Homo-oligomer: A and B are copies of this chain.
Amino acid sequence: MATIRDVAKLADVSTATVSRVINRNGYVNAETKRRVTEAIEQLNYVPNDVARSLFKGRSKMIALFVPDITNPFFPELARAVEDVANQRDYTFVLCNTDNDPVKESAYLNALQQKSADGFVIVSSSISEEQLEEINVPMVAVDRITGRSISSVTVNNYSGSRQAVQHLKSIGCKRIAHISGPEHTDNAVLRLRGYLDEVMYEDWFNSNYIAVGEYNFDTAREAAIELLRDCPEVDGVFAGNDLMGAGVLNAAAALGRRVPDDLSVIGFDGISIGKTLTPTLTTMVQPIYEIGAKAADMVITQIENGAPAITSEELPVQLMERQSSRRKE
């Protein structure tokens, strides 16, 4: 591979001049510039990013931390972050943290050594101290980790109320909630939204709440138990779409017809909702925009160094599909 020195020699100038041509800064005579450009062309020269990074202390690289890319919510998010990164000429690195603080900080260290310029993270576990140690821009997404970090989220609380309101509006009289994990702030917010919507209903009772992880299996288990214990339940608000799929499966296993006997609504708007039978009614998050917005914020901060902590909250939207229908 050709180096800047090869180019300099061929164009009969110093490396400084070549560098000036490449980076379009400082004065360069038009004729000189032509010669340099030609030499670059001829040698097929491309500047070495590593050398550049070393000098600048920056790498044009941002990383996304997600709990597990295997969860279909995250690929779409990743896609957005990657697209924006590319658009703005950054390299994109994906890291699965498994919600494990040890893995998280291992990644953080490894990437700092590589001069990563910024991070977009989905994390429930990162500590304020760790945040202090990072001296590059960082934006939290989907979940808020602490108040000393910028974030892009949706209004989980009001989205959750909307979801329950939808079930009420189609005539559900007994609405249960299969909640996500208690240590995750968005699950707590959704639970709170549900509670504030049903707490004062005379039919409400705490058996209508079950807790699972944000996945299919635990939700299915929880739903089977709940629906067996409370056969009067005619509406379920699932903590997210994956859990909604679990509820649909549980309903089928118990012979409960959806939406005739039971309406189900999820949260997220991931694409598997459309593949299910019946298709899943859900509160759609603008997942791609969330990721794009977060990536944009990080890169803008990298380049302009705007340090203010900002919190964006995007809207969710009801998407009615087959799993919920007005009762006769």
Q: A213 to chain B: closest CB distance in Å?
A: 14
Contact of A75 among B69, B95, B216, B249 (CB under 8 A): B69
| A51 part of interface (Cβ distance < 8 Å) | yes
Q: 1/0 per position for A45-64, CB-CB distance to B under 8 A?
A: 01111110110000101000
Q: Is the CB of A72 closer than 8 A to any CB of chain B?
A: yes
Does A82 contact B96, Cβ atoms closer than 8 Å?
Answer: yes
In the assembly, what is the distance between CA of A216 and CA of B74, in Å? 19
Among A59, A74, A75, A249, residue most surrounded by chain B Cβ atoms (within 10 Å): A75
Instruction: Select A78's contact among B69, B242, B277, beta carbons within 8 Å.
Output: B69
Q: Report yes or no: A114 in contact with B96, Cβ–Cβ below 8 A.
A: no
Residue contact A91 to B109, C-beta cutoff 8 Å: no
- CB contact list, A85-123 vs B, under 8 A: 91-96, 109-115
A246: chain B residues at CB < 8 Å are 275
Instruction: Contacts A113-B47, A113-B49 given; indicate if A70 touches B75 (C-beta within 8 A).
Output: yes
CB contacts (< 8 Å) of A47 on chain B: these are 113
Interface size counted on chain A using CB atoms at 8 A:
46
For A79, the chain B residues whose CB sits under 8 A away are: 68-70, 96
Chain B residue at smallest Cβ distance from A64: B94
CA separation between A91 and B96, bound complex, in Å?
A: 12
In the complex, are the beta carbons of B216 and A274 less than 8 A apart?
yes
> How many identical chains are in the complex?
2
Q: Are B277 and A248 in contact (CB under 8 A)?
A: yes
B92 near A275 (CB under 8 angstroms)? no
Q: Does A299 contact B (CB under 8 A)?
A: no
Chain B positions within 8 Å of A112 at CB level: 46
Complex contact A49–B96 (CB within 8 A): no
A170 within 8 A of B: no
Q: Tell me the complex Cα distance, A241–B67, Å.
A: 25
A121 nearest CB across to chain B (Å)? 16
Given contacts A72-B75, A242-B275, A276-B276, 6 further A-B contacts (CB under 8 A): A49-B113, A50-B59, A69-B78, A70-B75, A91-B93, A92-B93
What 6 pairs between A and B have smallest CB-CB spacing? A49-B113, A245-B275, A94-B94, A69-B75, A49-B114, A50-B54
